[in-house]
Amino acid sequence: GVQFYTSIHMKEVAGRNGATYKTNQAFCLETQHFPDSPNKPNFPSTLLEPGTPFKSRTIHHFYTWTRKQE
């Protein structure tokens, strides 16, 4: 699953080179198990047994485009 966190509750933050980051100018994609998974038998298991390897991989692809001038 993915949790999408917005910065709606963040206060203004001073960034590098005089940049200022304001509310709603950031987001975070947190890959993890689905919320309340341990209590939902139809969800994938969140149990990790001792000695069992755990691997996780997240790849994000972001693209930009230019809007056509009308």
Q: What would the pLDDT profile of 14-46 be if each residue is shown by its tens digit? A: 989 999 988 888 888 888 888 888 899 999 888
pTM for the full predicted model: 0.51
Sorted by where each begins, the domain ranges of the chain are 1-45+52-70
Tokens at 56, concatenated: 């996780």
Calpha distance 45→43 (Å, rounded): 6
Residue 50 predicted with pLDDT over 90: yes
Measured at the CA of 33, the angle between CA 37 and CA 22, to 5 degrees, comes to 120
Tokens at 40, concatenated: 């939902």
